[in-house]
Amino acid sequence: MTLYDKYDRSVYERIRLKLVALGYLPDITAYATITLYDAAKETLKLTLPYKKVTEVFGIGMWRAKSCIEPNMIIISRKSETKGSLGGFPEVGFVKKLDGNFDKVQYPRHTKNLMYDIRVITSDIYWERVLTTLIEEVLGTEDYLPMVDPTTGAPLAEAYMMLQTANLDMSSVEFLERMYKYTLKDVFVTEAKIIRANIPPLTRIDFGLIVEPHIPGSFESQRVDITVLPPPVP
């Protein structure tokens, strides 16, 4: 997996989970096979206006390239530019699950990733519903929560996502809106590990120079401070 997988999956899951929450699409994770999932979609269609579920297609999904149909949301990553953060190599420490740390060097610069999100419908009812949905889940300027690209589980990080355009791309056959978004200042390559498995700090020793009451003289006094690890919950 790459960091691109994380960003792409996060955009996809943000939209998919909203469709599921509103009852416009079954939750694919609840079905053991694609056959069962497809059957659930057919059942759900009978309860929705115009007998349509809305499907979202992430980057690289073959059907989004081969067949355009009403009630599709298609995500694509188009390009990238240099971000506003970086310069000299930045060094930091990453805490691991075992409590140790890795000393890492981050990439020199962040990147801005550009996404196109196409909302395709064939009637004004769904055009308004899905336009509202995109505005609610992505907005015009908001932080996009990240998810694990393998499991879809939430991660403790988020990045600013800016809407840069909202275009009417309708044709004779379909109503279509094209949203353009920029995911700001993300790293697209992993940090390089300089030193691994550094144990946490438990003791600090330093010398303290103190001034006595006698003018013009100094004395050195040694002070030891012990930093205790946090209690185990």
Beta strand pairing call for 91-95 and 101-105: antiparallel
Total number of domains constituting the chain: 1
User: Which domain range does residue 119 map to?
Assistant: 3-81+111-179
CB 162, CB 142: distance < 8 Å = no
Looking up tokens 């550009």, which residue turns up?
A: 114
Question: Which pLDDT score, from 0 to 100, does residue 218 have?
Answer: 52
pLDDT in tens, 191-206: 899 999 998 877 666 6
Residue 149 lies in a domain: yes
- Is 210 within a domain? no
In a domain, residue 16? The reply is yes
Answer whether residue 146 is part of any domain. Answer: yes
pLDDT at 79: 93
Quote the pLDDT of residue 60. Answer: 78
Residues of the chain with pLDDT under 50: 233
Is 202 domain-assigned?
Answer: no
Which pTM was predicted? Answer: 0.81
User: What pLDDT was estimated at residue 233?
Assistant: 47
Give the pLDDT confidence of 155-204 residue by residue, as tens digits: 999 999 999 999 999 999 999 999 999 999 999 999 899 999 998 877 66
Phi and psi at 162, nearest 5°, equal -110, 135
Cα gap 190→107, rounded to integer Å: 7
Residue 165 lies in a domain: yes
